[in-house]
Amino acid sequence: MPGPALDATDTDRSLPAKADVVIIGGGIIGVSTALFLAERGVDVVLCEKGVLGGEQSSRNWGWVRVMGRDRREIPLAMESLKIWDGLDARIGGETGFRRSGILYLAQTDKDIANQEAWLAHARANGLDSRSIGSDETLALMPGAVARYKGAMYTKSDARAEPQKAVPAIAAGARRAGARLITGCAVRGVEKSAGRISAVVTEKGRIETSSIVLAGGAWSRLFCKGLGLRLPQLKVRNSVLRTSPVSGGPDGAGADWTYAYRKRLDGGYTIAHSAENQHAIVPDSLVFYRDFQPARKAEGESVQLGLSARSWQELLEISAPALDRPGAFERHRILDPKPDERSVLSALKAAAEAIPVLKTAQPLQIWAGLIDVTPDAIPVISGVDTIPGLTIATGFSGHGFGIGPGAGHLTADLVMGNTPIVDPMPFRFSRFSDGTPIDIAPSV
């Protein structure tokens, strides 16, 4: 398998003829939704075109944080952390979750001012995030020599292992009764009297009146087949994993040149915190206006350019047909080429700030495509024009930490239960009902 190696997971072979709910996509959102539905006795089948967790959910940095979140996401991120706390016991597995704290390092007065502005949200939500000075910052980074002006620190924030979490949650969902089918692309849906009546997969049909679209970076293309306009683009971020290092900081932290996260295997996951590439594709033009505010807010942290992806998406502009293989089958696992220069420069910057990392050997480099929405918060929502469809996508670089909470919320919406948090900010209709695009300032 390309990319980081995932823990093994048992899956199911035969495609059932019927299910109460079919989930499309086996990333952290899909498997978490499957867990919550199966625990509540729902007959749920999850179809994954590649392997469980093979795309963003195993390639991310492994930060589980509330700090710095958009104010609309904070309640869901807080609920998610509570779920993570009991998740290993609940599923009988190891996700690597540890409450080891996160540091946002401040290099300039502007960093401090931005962090202070965000801390107002922390106070309003009763979070333990706080501003700390230079000495306390250094004390929280054993092995470091860099002197920062200070940091924003959240002791209760956490980390987990992306290569372990999805397999472990999937195993828990399966034990609770969910059926998980891999190598099974869903091409589209059939409708009857305006309602969903079946999904059409490469392995056959499953009759159902309820589907959850948790397709990550593919959700836009899937929505096209449903006649829905989901404004979603992709940015690439590259990641490096190192050999074990002793004496370095626990937890996770970042300045504008590097981000680190301690791994359970003793090494570090390192990335550049401000180097993300967006390949210009046809959708960049289709959604040009939707993403204008995001482009302004991101400044130089997203670089635009042409790449092989630009041509590929040009050739795959149409929604896949139901009766023959299409893009979902051609691209079993999105495995973009990593930007080695970017991650090696991040490792160098990290080792200058934290010299114990000089002994860290780069063991593997990979990249992932992050799916983003115009306001950088997800869609977790039903769709008025297609009864039976629930969308859970567009996690905009935040979905790993929020995953279990989002799975809970999605299951609530599917079942019509009282939602774990107010789902209004995540409604799909905000992109078409004239609501202005509201982008949180970067922290």
Amino acid sitting at position 79: E
Question: Is residue 181 part of the contact set for ligand FAD (CB under 6 A)?
Answer: no
Distances 364 to 2, 189, 331 between C-alpha atoms, Å: 11, 39, 22
Structure tokens given for 217: 């970076």
Residues 19-38 interacting with ligand FAD (rule: CB under 6 A) = 24-30
> Residue 261 contacts by C-beta under 8 Å, 6 or more apart in sequence?
61, 62, 63, 159, 251, 252, 268, 269
At 18, give phi and psi (nearest 5°): -145, 155
Residues 184-203 within binding reach of ligand FAD (CB under 6 A): 185-186
215 binds ligand FAD (CB under 6 A): yes
Q: Does 401 bind ligand FAD (CB under 6 A)?
A: yes
* Near ligand FAD in 300-339, by CB under 6 A: 328
Nearest distance in Å: CB 29, ligand FAD: 4
Q: What is the sign, positive or negative, of the torsion defined by CA atoms of 165, 171, 172, 178?
A: positive
Residues that bind ligand FAD (rule: CB under 6 A) add up to a total of 40
Using CA atoms, how far residue 393 sits from 27, 73, 382, in Å, is 10, 14, 12
Does 260 bind ligand FAD (CB under 6 A)? Our answer is no
CA–CA separation, 76 and 425 (whole Å): 11
* Binding status of residue 398 toward ligand FAD by CB under 6 A: yes
57 binds ligand FAD (CB under 6 A): yes
> DSSP of 301-353, one letter per residue?
GEEEE--HHHHHHHHT-SPPPSSS--HHHH-SS--PPP-HHHHHHHHHHHHHH
Q: What is the 3-state secondary structure (H, E, C) of 2-61?
A: CCCCCCCCCCCCCCCCECCEEEECCCHHHHHHHHHHHHCCCCEEEECCCCCCCCHHHHCC
By residue count, the chain amounts to 443
**Out of 393, 404, 421, 439, which residue is the one contacting ligand FAD (CB under 6 A)?**
393
Which 340-379 residues touch ligand FAD, going by CB under 6 A?
Answer: 368, 370
Q: For residues 93 and 368, which CB has a smaller minimum distance to ligand FAD in the complex?
A: 368
**Alpha carbon distance 199, 185 (integer Å):** 10
Among 6, 11, 42, 61, binds ligand FAD (CB under 6 A): 61
Q: Residue 428, interface with ligand FAD (CB under 6 A)?
A: no
Decide if 437 contacts 412 (C-beta within 8 A): no
Nearer to ligand FAD, 328 or 428 (CB): 328
Binding mask 217-256 for ligand FAD (x = CB under 6 A): xx---x--------------x-x-----------------
Contact between 3 and ligand FAD per CB under 6 A: no
Q: Tell me how far, at minimum, the Cβ of 360 lies from ligand FAD, in Å.
A: 19
User: How far is 9 from 30, CA to CA, in rounded Å?
Assistant: 15
The candidate with the shortest Cα–Cα distance to 393, out of 55, 87, 1, 158, is: 55
Distance of alpha carbon 219 from alpha carbon 324, whole angstroms? 19
Nearer to ligand FAD, 28 or 226 (CB): 28
* Residue 113 vs 333, nearer CB to ligand FAD: 333
Shortest distance, position 167 Cβ to ligand FAD, whole Å: 12
Q: Is 258 in the site for ligand FAD (CB under 6 A)?
A: no
Residue 56 sits in the site that holds ligand FAD (CB under 6 A): yes
Q: Which is nearer to ligand FAD, 22 or 151 (CB)?
A: 22
Task: Please identify which residue in 3, 54, 338, 404 interacts with ligand FAD, judged by CB under 6 A.
Answer: 54
3-class state of residue 118 by DSSP: helix
Report in angstroms how near the CB of residue 109 gets to ligand FAD at its nearest: 27
Burial class (CB in 10 A: 0-12, 13-18, 19+), 305: exposed
Asked if residue 22 lies in contact with residue 186, where contact means CB atoms within 8 angstroms, the answer is yes
CB of 136 to ligand FAD, least distance (A): 23
Minimum distance from residue 434 beta carbon to ligand FAD (Å) = 27
* Shorter beta-carbon distance to ligand FAD: residue 133 or 412: 412
Binding residues (CB under 6 A) for ligand FAD: these are 24-30, 47-50, 54-57, 59-63, 185-186, 214-218, 222, 237, 239, 328, 368, 370, 393, 395, 397-401
